[in-house]
């Protein structure tokens, strides 16, 4: 099937709107989508009716408001279009009111106490800036989710507000540059990494089923060192999976390309074409859902966890980010004229300043139980935030900072707004792969985001912190007499003040860790250290100042995320204990008995040598003692953890007491696995999961 034939066929997109809506309604809706004008309430019923007719043609019988509660995934409540008509006949109906507002039974969504105090009801509201679509016989209406008193309960609303803040401040600056724009969008293209393994194996691993990652597993003789990406027996199923996934996503208007180019065995990547952050976020949710569903259908399991296998690369979601006007001008594209260049450098330096000033927020926006196993390990970006700008741009910034001429140019001191930048090669071959926040020619790539994350959290932070710096820039520039030299001075000052965040070397090295410390960069080791800062004064002030979240919303969000973390680790701990006590210990004990039986049997041989069997049985017996002792300690720690007061304190307990015990237990278990026959081991091994052997 060709992409062109099916692309977007299940989406109520711009072309369908133009086709199905009366001209004035179409115009009004598009100006809401593209220019940010508030939705005209009069158009809702017309749109609803057109949407319904279109959806029914596609076979839909139901509709749902599709929203993104704090769980990080999506939720929906289906209602039928069918209403009683005259003469006992049924008619298909969808009113403007139903399109605009919904009331899901939402009492079970995490709200950090917001709803409890105010009003038990939660509402959903149509987000016209993302597109409705048909899936599984249902019309999906992308929606925001909030409480009766207007408090935000979801991930989408603050994302939209952060985009609005960014647009507001960027427009002030564009006006000064004379760049025409009605709105500025943050844009995101998120590369999604994932693992595919055989579903039969998956279902035999309690740890994968309960926690998404393997809690045990000895390293196979071969890991990823050969980088030859073995598919083994599931190769053709993987290809068919990718084909179907591509097609299903095309139908939903997501232009995506799947590839199997990752380093780890059984790991793959999908990169969609970038879109506005809001749409990209919705699309990413659909991508993750489709991946899981299509894998399942094809006898595979899709793992979206950040670190499903120890000792093997984890998965991320590289968040490519930029800003673009409604006319499609990418503000992080250097351009070719002096004016474009100085505009570029101003926005570029704003991002650098924002990243430096709010390192902690960026770090905590990607904190979570899964990502803790990835960040700072020797594969993924480190937990220290820094920015890669590349050699050429680095030299340009150096020259600007020292008010010297740029070495590559023959003319005098480079003056922004007057001189052009040297051509910056948009080179993709020798890009730095170790940087957490890398400039890649016309966008930044934030590589710390975890593969299972909602894109909302990190992008709320990026948009808001950049908006904050742009606001300050606009305050200065609006008062300036000489605009060009004010821009120049602002860029130079910004580079001087924030250059400590720029690092072009190997971010995985210990040397960088030491250097980063000297530079005073923040190094938050794990979720329990990072997350509580979200509710700190600096963070609350920022979100309130930019109109993105209230203090209450920030504080409750922090609690929900910390609670999530604690629950995740608790489930892991309980799963590990159960696996040891009920499966692993009995299995190893069985083998010890077999060895002892062998010793007894061998004894009938004259001069029998049973040293090997005896030594092995003794060693395994010690290992089983060890793992059972640890299981007991872990079990006690888990009971204790529940009683720790305070979300931050509790998360620290899980991080520093529970996880280390799990790790110690794993070391013992993995040791025992290496010495136990495969047939007697209760779970598929890493070799089977990753290589099919
Ligand atoms: P890579 O070499 O990393 O594959 P690509 O140019 O293919 O780089 O882009 C990777 C991702 O970045 C894609 O999802 C792409 O759509 C996205 N991207 C490209 N330009 C932008 C932009 N201006 N804003 C946001 N994302 C972008
Ligand atoms: Mg990339």
Instruction: Quote the CA–CA distance of 46 and 60 in Å, as a whole number.
Output: 18
Closest-lying ligand 1 atom to the alpha carbon of residue 273: 16
Report which protein residue has its CA nearest ligand 1's atom 23: 322
651 close to 531: Cβ distance less than 8 angstroms: yes
Tokens of 163: 């985009």
The CATH number given to whatever domain includes residue 687 is: 1.20.120.1560
Q: Is residue 558 situated within a structural domain?
A: no
Which DSSP state fits 465? Answer: H
One domain, residues 350 and 468: yes
Tokens of 336: 């070719």
Span 26-61, pLDDT tens digits: 999 999 888 888 888 889 999 999 999 999 999 999
Closest-lying ligand 1 atom to the alpha carbon of residue 330: 23
Closest-lying ligand 1 atom to the alpha carbon of residue 322: 24
One domain, residues 81 and 167: no
C-alpha distances in angstroms, 397 versus 177, 342, 426, 598? 21, 12, 17, 73
Report which protein residue has its CA nearest ligand 1's atom 1: 428
Closest-lying ligand 1 atom to the alpha carbon of residue 321: 25
Q: Is residue 369 situated within a structural domain?
A: yes
Task: Identify which ligand lies nearest to the alpha carbon of 428.
Answer: 1
One domain, residues 332 and 455: yes
Cα-Cα end-to-end distance for the chain: 35
Calculate how far, in angstroms, residue 603's C-alpha sits from the geometric centre of ligand 2.
63
The CATH number given to whatever domain includes residue 123 is: 3.10.20.70
pTM for the whole structure:
0.94
One domain, residues 328 and 183: yes
Mark which of 499, 522, 549 sits at the end of a domain: 549
* DSSP secondary structure string for all residues of 547-568: TS--HHHHHHHHHHHHHHHHHH
One domain, residues 478 and 577: no
Q: Is residue 557 situated within a structural domain?
A: no
Helices (H), 14-113: 14-20, 23-35, 44-57, 96-100
Calculate how far, in angstroms, residue 518's C-alpha sits from the geometric centre of ligand 1.
33
Span 300-313, pLDDT tens digits: 999 999 999 998 88
Task: Identify which ligand lies nearest to the alpha carbon of 190.
Answer: 1
547 close to 470: Cβ distance less than 8 angstroms: no
Residue range 510-520: mean pLDDT, rounded: 93
Among 275, 433, 443, which residue has the most ligand 1 atoms within 8 Å of its CB, making it the best to mutate? 443
Helix, strand, coil abundance in the chain, percent, nearest 5: 50, 15, 35
Mark which of 132, 154, 176 sits at the end of a domain: 154
The CATH number given to whatever domain includes residue 335 is: 3.30.590.10
Q: Is residue 555 situated within a structural domain?
A: no
Q: What is the mean pLDDT of the chain?
A: 90
Query: Is the pLDDT confidence value at 408 over 70?
Result: no
One domain, residues 385 and 516: yes
One domain, residues 221 and 297: yes
**By residue range, what is the domain housing residue 311?**
161-549
- How many other C-beta atoms lie within 10 A of the C-beta of residue 314? 25
Q: Is residue 559 situated within a structural domain?
A: no
Span 140-181, pLDDT tens digits: 999 999 887 788 889 999 999 999 999 999 999 999 999 999
Pocket of ligand 1 (CB under 6 A): 187-189, 191, 271-274, 320-322, 330, 428, 442-443
Ion ligand 2 neighbours (CB, 5 A) are 318
What element of type H or E holds 212? none
Calculate how far, in angstroms, residue 192's C-alpha sits from the geometric centre of ligand 1.
12
Calculate how far, in angstroms, residue 322's C-alpha sits from the geometric centre of ligand 1.
10
One domain, residues 406 and 529: yes
Span 343-377, pLDDT tens digits: 999 999 999 999 999 999 999 999 999 999 999 77
Domain count, the chain: 3
One domain, residues 513 and 590: no
Report which protein residue has its CA nearest ligand 1's atom 26: 189
> Residue 549: which residues within 8 A CB-CB, separation 6 or more?
152, 158, 161, 543, 557
Residue range 421-438: mean pLDDT, rounded: 68
- CA of residue 461 relative to chain centroid, distance: 13
Q: Is residue 556 situated within a structural domain?
A: no
One domain, residues 437 and 543: yes
């Amino acid at each position: 099937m060709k992409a062109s034939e099916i692309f977007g066929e299940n989406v109520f997109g711009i072309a369908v709107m133009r086709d199905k809506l009366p001209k004035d309604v179409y115009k009004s809706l598009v100006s809401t989508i593209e220019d940010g004008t508030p939705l005209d309430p009069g158009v809702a019923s017309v749109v609803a009716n057109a949407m319904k007719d279109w959806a029914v043609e596609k076979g839909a019988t139901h509709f749902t408001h599709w929203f993104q509660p704090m769980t990080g995934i999506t939720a929906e409540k289906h209602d039928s279009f069918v209403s009683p008509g005259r003469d006992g006949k049924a008619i298909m109906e969808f009113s403007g009111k139903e399109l605009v507002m919904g009331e899901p039974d939402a009492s079970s969504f995490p709200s950090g106490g917001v709803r409890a105090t105010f009003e038990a009801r939660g509402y959903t509201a149509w987000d016209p800036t993302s597109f409705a679509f048909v899936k599984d016989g249902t019309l999906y209406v992308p929606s925001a989710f909030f409480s009766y008193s207007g408090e935000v309960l979801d991930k989408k609303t603050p994302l939209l507000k952060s985009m609005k803040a960014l647009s507001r401040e960027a427009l002030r600056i564009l006006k000064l540059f004379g760049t025409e724009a009605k709105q500025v969008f943050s844009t995101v293209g998120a590369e999604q990494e994932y693992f595919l393994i055989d579903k039969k194996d998956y279902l035999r691993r309690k740890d994968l089923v309960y926690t998404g990652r393997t809690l045990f597993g000895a390293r196979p003789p071969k890991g990823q060192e050969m980088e030859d990406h073995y598919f083994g027996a599931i190769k053709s199923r993987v290809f068919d999976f990718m084909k179907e996934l591509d097609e299903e996503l095309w139908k939903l208007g997501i232009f995506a390309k799947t590839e199997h180019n990752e380093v780890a065995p059984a790991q793959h990547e999908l990169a969609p074409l970038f879109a506005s952050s809001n749409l990209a976020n919705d699309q990413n949710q659909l991508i993750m859902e489709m991946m899981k569903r299509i894998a399942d259908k094809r006898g595979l399991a899709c793992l979206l966890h950040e670190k499903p296998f120890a000792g093997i690369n984890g998965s991320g979601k590289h968040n490519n980010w930029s800003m673009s006007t409604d006319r499609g001008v990418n503000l992080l594209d250097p351009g070719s004229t002096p004016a474009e260049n100085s505009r570029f450098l101003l926005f570029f330096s704003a991002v650098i300043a924002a990243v430096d000033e709010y390192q902690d927020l960026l770090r905590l926006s990607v904190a979570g139980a899964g990502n803790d196993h990835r960040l700072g390990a020797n594969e993924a970006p480190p937990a220290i935030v820094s920015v890669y700008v590349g050699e050429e741009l680095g030299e340009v910034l150096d020259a600007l900072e020292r008010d010297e001429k740029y070495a590559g140019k023959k003319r005098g001191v480079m003056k922004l707004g007057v001189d052009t930048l040297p051509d910056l090669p948009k080179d993709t071959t020798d890009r730095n792969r170790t940087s957490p926040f890398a400039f890649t020619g016309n966008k930044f790539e934030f590589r710390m985001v975890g593969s299972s994350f909602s894109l909302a959290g990190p992008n709320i932070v990026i948009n808001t912190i950049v908006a904050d710096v742009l606001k300050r820039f606009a305050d200065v520039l609006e008062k300036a007499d000489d605009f060009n030299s004010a821009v120049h001075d602002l860029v130079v000052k910004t580079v001087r003040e924030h250059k400590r965040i720029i690092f072009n070397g190997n971010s995985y090295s210990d040397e960088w860790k030491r250097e980063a410390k000297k530079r005073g960069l923040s190094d938050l080791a794990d979720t329990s250290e990072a997350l509580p800062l979200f509710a700190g004064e600096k963070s609350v002030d920022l979100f309130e100042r930019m109109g993105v979240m209230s203090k209450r919303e920030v504080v409750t969000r922090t609690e929900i995320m910390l609670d999530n973390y604690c629950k995740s680790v608790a489930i892991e701990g309980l799963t590990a204990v159960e696996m040891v006590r009920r499966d692993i210990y009995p299995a190893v004990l069985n083998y010890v008995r077999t060895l002892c039986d062998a010793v007894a049997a061998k004894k009938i041989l004259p001069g029998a040598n049973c040293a090997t069997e005896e030594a092995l049985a003794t060693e395994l017996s010690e290992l089983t003692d060890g793992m059972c002792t640890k299981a007991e300690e872990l079990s006690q720690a888990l009971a204790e953890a529940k009683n720790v007061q305070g979300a931050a304190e509790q998360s620290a307990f899980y991080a520093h007491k529970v996880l280390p015990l799990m790790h110690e237990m794993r070391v013992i278990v993995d040791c025992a696995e290496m010495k136990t026959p495969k047939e007697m081991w209760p779970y598929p091994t890493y070799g089977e999961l990753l290589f099919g052997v």
